[in-house]
Chain A
Amino acid sequence: MRGTASIFLPVLLIPLATLLQAQGTPPPSPLTMVSREGRRPVPTTIVGNQELIALDEVAALFQVAVREDTLAGGLTLTYRGRTVVVSTNQPMASVAGRLVALPSAPVRSGQRWLVPVELLPRALAPIYDARIELRRPSRLLLVGDVRVPRVTARIDAPGPPTRATVEIAPAAPVTVTTEAGRVVLRVDADALDLNLPGDGAALIDQFRAGEQPTAVAVVLDGRAGAARAIPSEAGGVTRVALEVAAAATADAAPAPPPAPAPLPAAVAAPAFLFAPRPVLLTIVVDPGHGGDDIGARGAGGAEEKRITLELSRRLRMLIETRLGIRVILTRDDDRRVSLDDRAAVANNNKADLFLSLHLNAAPVPDVAGAEVLYLRLDDEGEEARRAAETESVSLPVLGGARRTLDVLRWDLAQARHVDASTVLATVLEEELRAQITMSPRPRLQVPLRVLTGVNMPAALIEMAYLTNPADERRAQSDDFQAGVAQGIYNAVLRFRSYLEAQRQP
């Protein structure tokens, strides 16, 4: 009897699954959940450009009780006495009394409810005991304390010899194996967040995932000879320097005399064959103040630290879901973070953009509207800027070449980005003006402490005056906050185009 059931169950389930999938299409590559227990695929489906997961899958994966409340029009997820209520007709959920936006409302499919996968990091994570992080570009769902370093690769010089670097951040031990036609890097981690360029150049055909989930394979070209890879660790990042020599030809004639003056590699190098690194990969958003530092306070009781955090979270969601750019907040809860630590979050994550969100105060209640601030350098900063343009240090690298490093005082790192920050402030002002009211002085250059040490284009946005009663009411409204987030989002898009244009030769 049991044997019969085990035969018929899959037979019954397959048509059922097919029926469910009929409403959507499977994603191009499956989502993989990585936890301390291992890896497992998570079934999802694409409906109307949204990736959805069945609520019963969520219940099974995370030991969550799911209940449908038809009267209230909501789905309740309960985990250890904590609940999330997902609206069935609005793209939002209530997490411990706080509203969280979702990219779409749930979709009913037969007896099942399908919800956007973003529900997991945004709504379930806050009530869950362990971390839940969705890394959409690499199709990973991280649960709990797992080590999943980001792996990137680049060609440094096509050569020959072809030189390349594979970076693993945060640092992790790497074992290198040279096999026929390829070099395999095995990383000591639970999984890898692969951001590989795909195609290589010259003697390296491609970088791709290895057969094991924590391995990277560097596939060599047929003309490749000896290859070597040397891992090293610095600044919390493991770098594997690869060097691939050309194979000696069988009918090699006697070696010609060495050229008297070989051309520098930079002159001889052909154009790279793979897509360059995107100009905007990571944005750090800095919610101003926090903890016992409340910031400005309105007569009606509105607190700057609370509104800046709400808006930062909203902005993160908008940019991450629509642009796929990683957004990191300098604080994701109500705590004090020093100004140096805020800059360090941006610098350590190699962010491409830093946006600090604040609310303003004036000595009289009449002043209202938003302002965009960027750094004004003093004489010392100007000196640092000139020095950054002219001073650099040349260090030897693998294979006898040299690499030039710019030297800049850490506390004046913003000096080299003032021109780009000026452009950023201009587009922010223009795009915010299309959404909200600007103050009579909409753009200001000011010696701002939080921006001085930030090593990337940066601006600070004062979104409204809490000392103005109308601005205080507005700043807490959904319409205003959506407008600010949209304005900044539009400015990020324009600034990305500017950066791309700057990179053109």
Chain B
Amino acid sequence: MTRRHALQALAAILVLAVGGWAVSRALDRLTGVAPAADSSSATPAAPSAAGVAHITATLYYGSSDGQTLIPVRREVPLADGVLPQGREILGAQLQPAPEGYVSVIPEGTTLRAFYVTDRGDAFVDLSGEAASRHAGGSTAELLTVYAVVHAVTSNLPSVHRVQILLDGREADTLAGHIDLRRPLAPDPSLVREDAQ
């Protein structure tokens, strides 16, 4: 009797695991994007010493003169699917800037949610610190907004535009200047390629 119960339990676990995998794949298809391995331009890297696989993604920080965004290639944990990979990239983007660059996203800002529509519009839901701790000024606000826009669009080619939400809601602006009511396309004029 006990062995039969154990076999039944094992079968149930297998069915649940296969079912879960199938649902996860189906959800990825519903969002209209291909898995990360197919669509992400970020290059997969060999597993690191700790055994966690990484990709090289392009993140955006302020130049030392405070005028533009500088693309910086950094290692980000590899994730399965566009949405998990997008969350990893944004999680890294929200961290303080590496040495030699300037942070343009207010400290303490966290990612609440990330999703992508069929039209290729991504929604990045940031915590309220993105606005409440913002120093103001249209230059600082431009750099904050477009660091997020470029971090998503340059690493996930299936995303063409990005709309920033605050605490789960549509927002007017972060600090009174840049219009956040519609998804924003990347603005190459704000990016300088000559990294320091």
Contact = CB atoms under 8 A, between A and B. Distances in A.
A339 interface: yes
Contacts of B179: 447-449, 452
B136 interface: yes
A491 B67 CA distance: 26
Interface stretch (B18-26, B52-60, B109-117, B169-177): B169-177
Contact of B184 (A294, A295, A440, A447): A447
A240 interface: no
Nearest to A296: B136
Contacts of A462: 137-139
A362 B143 CA distance: 9
B65 interface: yes
A361 B178 contact: no
B137 A378 contact: no
A367 B65 CA distance: 7
Contact of A378 (B172, B175, B185): B185
A450 B172 CA distance: 10
Contacts of B173: 339, 449
A289 B175 CA distance: 9
A363 interface: yes
Interface string A289-303: 100011111000000
Contacts of A141: none
Contacts of B65: 364, 366-367
A447 B178 contact: yes
B66 A367 contact: yes
Interface string A276-291: 0000000000001100
Interface in B165-196: 172-173, 175-182, 184-185
Interface in B50-84: 62, 64-67
B66 A363 contact: yes
B107 to A, nearest CB: 12
B66 A295 contact: no
B159 to A, nearest CB: 15
A363 B70 CA distance: 14
B37 interface: no
Contacts of A360: 137-140
B85 interface: no
Interface residues of B, number: 28
B138 A465 contact: no
Contact of A339 (B139, B142, B172): B172
B103 interface: yes
Nearest to B137: A361
Interface string A449-485: 1101000000010100111000000000000000000
B92 interface: no
Interface of B is mostly: loop
A367 B142 CA distance: 14
Given A378-B184, A449-B172, A467 B135 contact: yes
B178 A448 contact: yes
B136 A295 contact: yes
B128 to A, nearest CB: 15
A440 B67 CA distance: 9
Interface centre among B65, B67, B143, B175 (most CB of A within 10 A): B67
B126 interface: no
B135 A296 contact: yes
Given A440-B67, A441-B67, A467-B137, A363 B143 contact: yes
Contacts of A367: 65-67, 139
B140 A295 contact: no
B136 A304 contact: yes
B148 to A, nearest CB: 14
Contacts of B140: 296, 360-363, 467
B137 A465 contact: yes
B104 interface: yes
B43 to A, nearest CB: 29
A448 B139 contact: no
B110 to A, nearest CB: 19
A293 B140 CA distance: 16
Interface in B87-111: 102-104
A304 B175 CA distance: 12
Interface string B129-150: 0000001111110110000000
A214 to B, nearest CB: 43
Contact of A293 (B135, B143, B176): B176
B74 to A, nearest CB: 19
Contacts of B184: 378, 447
A488 interface: no
A360 B141 CA distance: 10
Nearest to A447: B179
A418 to B, nearest CB: 14
6 contacts: A294-B136, A297-B135, A440-B67, A447-B179, A448-B179, A465-B139
Given A293-B176, A304-B136, 16 more contacts: A295-B136, A295-B137, A339-B172, A358-B138, A360-B140, A363-B62, A363-B66, A363-B102, A378-B184, A446-B142, A448-B138, A449-B176, A450-B177, A452-B179, A460-B177, A465-B139
Interface of B: 62, 64-67, 102-104, 135-140, 142-143, 172-173, 175-182, 184-185
